[in-house]
Amino acid sequence: MTGWVAIAGLGPGNDALVTPEVTNAVAQATDIIGYIPYVARIAPREGLTLHATDNRVELDRALHALELASQGARVVVVSSGDPGVFAMASAVFEAVEAHPEHTDCDIRVLPGITAMLAAAAAAGAPLGHDFCAINLSDNLKPWDVIEHRLRMAARGDFAMAFYNPRSKSRPHGFEKTLDVLREECEPERLITFARAVSKADQTLNTVTLAEATPEMADMQTVVILGNSATKRIGRYVYTPRSAS
Amino acid sequence: MTGWVAIAGLGPGNDALVTPEVTNAVAQATDIIGYIPYVARIAPREGLTLHATDNRVELDRALHALELASQGARVVVVSSGDPGVFAMASAVFEAVEAHPEHTDCDIRVLPGITAMLAAAAAAGAPLGHDFCAINLSDNLKPWDVIEHRLRMAARGDFAMAFYNPRSKSRPHGFEKTLDVLREECEPERLITFARAVSKADQTLNTVTLAEATPEMADMQTVVILGNSATKRIGRYVYTPRSAS
């Protein structure tokens, strides 16, 4: 039997946002690998082994998937959101690069609804024009790179979506982000804090950049900054399709 | 009976990428509105009226949806990909702004798998680090804005996904895009042309920026430019999670 690895996006939390492609892959799997809360979303069944691991062991998890597949297992690596956006897909390819004996492994990436697009949909259409996605975690890149990207994105008048804005280990990162954005953008710029998107306890909070505080974000929050044309209409926030 | 408008993303083409949320909304709809090829993806049934219109009439289509909903209809406006990414969601909110009598309409945006994320998944993980999404159509913005954004995104070392790279009415736009990118990026930079993503006739073509030609793209193509660290590993293209 030939093994494979499918790196699958479970979407932001609501099962109605899981694609049939992902559901089918899970149904065919012998093994599920992933971070504890994502593996917890998979229903146990006979013949399916669940391997739940803690966060920050992405490369170990990826290598484990490749090794199981080389022994004939059908492995689904579960990510939240989309696996290609600040999630497990790059980690698996990093593991392949470090362990070239797995280069011929049958690896598929199954896209999912990434948090920023679910958040944008809940708010209206704040990403309806050109935009950037930026991971604010400085675990894997220095703050200088983040700051430079924020400035370039602001000067290009991109809307921006921020992943991982804040954690206990980085209490000041998002404060610095807001400081940079306030230097580059006008105080009336709209910013939306979307927490627990698509889940029962989802909250949305849109304020101006002048009103924004670091406490409005945590690690369950995706933050969307509009571009200079983003506006409110009724209870919605949207960015027009045109630019001048 | 209370009407509503759901702006739904059908994903890039393969029905296995349509979320259950969208499938459920279509099942409850009385009316489907959209561009001809997207409406053609909806199975006809009794009690469901299909309103297929040509391209470039987004605002008329949006207003039609709002008017039907105000008369009690349950309207699904279908987009390809994700409705919030260069698709119908912003057009509907623009129509609400122009016709404020519809401000209280029950409007929901239902996210979908947008083309760049399906293309990235098919190629590996080229958007695995910070990235930008840029619409290269100059129907709704001047070329100067596009050029400035390309330069800012390149100087921020973002990966980039390009929508609508080329059309019959704009045969030279993508050539100019490649010229700007060659001024800003090294010739070895990887660029992936993904055509008809997720469909039976999907093609993927990854070359260096030096090798890229305008003819590699058409309006069915999404183009993904890597960042300075994007690499090939076996048949995959991926961007590492870290930056220095």
Chain A residues with CB-CB distance to B128 below 8 A: 84-86, 89-90, 93
**According to DSSP H, which parts of chain B are helical?**
20-28, 36-39, 58-70, 88-98, 115-123, 143-155, 173-184
Say how many C-beta atoms besides its own lie within 10 A of residue A175's C-beta.
14
User: Identical fold at B4-113 and B116-238?
Assistant: no
- Segment B103-131 mean pLDDT: 97
- Cβ distance A109 to B91 less than 8 Å, yes or no, reads no
A233: nearest CB among B19, B93, B127: B93
Tokens of B67: 């008017």
- Segment B41-54 mean pLDDT: 96
Dump strand ranges (E) for A114-189.
Answer: 124-125, 131-135, 159-163
pLDDT tens digits for range A96-139:
999 999 999 999 999 999 999 999 999 999 999 999 999 998 78
In angstroms, the Cα distances linking B228 to A118, A147, A160, B156, B187 are: 29, 18, 21, 10, 10
B19: nearest CB among A109, A113, A128: A113
Who's near B214: CB < 8 A, 6+ residues apart? B166, B171, B172, B174, B175, B178
pLDDT tens digits for range A153-202:
999 999 999 999 987 777 788 999 999 999 999 999 999 999 999 999 99
- Cβ distance A111 to B117 less than 8 Å, yes or no, reads yes
At residue B7, does pLDDT exceed 90?
yes
Out of A2-11, A53-62, B40-49, B210-219, pick the least confident. Answer: A53-62
At residue B81, does pLDDT exceed 70?
yes
Q: What is the model's pLDDT at position A219?
A: 87
Percent of chain B's residues with pLDDT above 70: 100
Q: Which CATH class is domain A4-113?
A: alpha beta
**Pick from B58, B65, B67, B63: nearest CA to B32:** B65
Distance CA B121, CA B132 (A): 16
Q: What is the model's pLDDT at position A181?
A: 98
Q: Name the packing angle between helices B58-70 and B88-98 (round to 10°).
A: 70
At residue B1, does pLDDT exceed 70?
no
- Segment B216-225 mean pLDDT: 95
pLDDT tens digits for range A61-87:
999 999 999 999 999 999 999 999 999
Cβ atoms of B205 and B134 within 8 Å: the answer is no
Strands across the sheet with A221-225, in order? A203-208, A190-195, A221-225, A159-163, A131-135, B131-135, B159-163, B221-225, B190-195, B203-208
Percent of chain B's residues with pLDDT above 90: 90
At residue B54, does pLDDT exceed 80?
yes
Instruction: Give the CATH architecture of domain A116-238.
Output: 2-Layer Sandwich (3.30)
At residue B75, does pLDDT exceed 80?
yes
Q: What is the mean pLDDT of chain B?
A: 95
Chain B interface includes A238 (CB < 8 A):
yes
Q: What is the model's pLDDT at position A138?
A: 79
Chain B interface includes A241 (CB < 8 A):
yes
Q: What is the model's pLDDT at position A55?
A: 74
Least CA distance to A142: which residue of chain B? B244
Chain A interface includes B128 (CB < 8 A):
yes
- Domain borders along chain B are 4-113, 116-238
Q: What is the model's pLDDT at position B242?
A: 87
At residue A243, does pLDDT exceed 90?
no
CA dihedral A143, A93, B225, A155 (to 10 degrees): -20
Nearest-neighbour CA in chain B from A239: distance (Å): 6
At residue B95, does pLDDT exceed 90?
yes
pLDDT tens digits for range B136-189:
987 888 999 999 999 999 999 999 999 999 877 777 889 999 999 999 999 999
A21: nearest CB among B17, B140, B141: B17
A243: nearest CB among B104, B128, B145: B145
- Cβ distance B124 to A148 less than 8 Å, yes or no, reads no
Strands across the sheet with B236-238, in order? B124-125, B236-238, B231-233
User: What is chain B's length?
Assistant: 244
Residues 149-168 of B with CB under 8 A from A: 149, 151-153, 155-158
Nearest-neighbour CA in chain A from B78: distance (Å): 14
Q: What is the model's pLDDT at position B105?
A: 96
Chain B residues with CB-CB distance to A159 below 8 A: none
Between residues A140 and B235, the one the model is more confident about: B235
- Cβ distance A93 to B133 less than 8 Å, yes or no, reads no
Q: What is the model's pLDDT at position A54?
A: 85
Residues 83-112 of B with CB under 8 A from A: 83-86, 89-94, 96-97, 103-104, 107-112
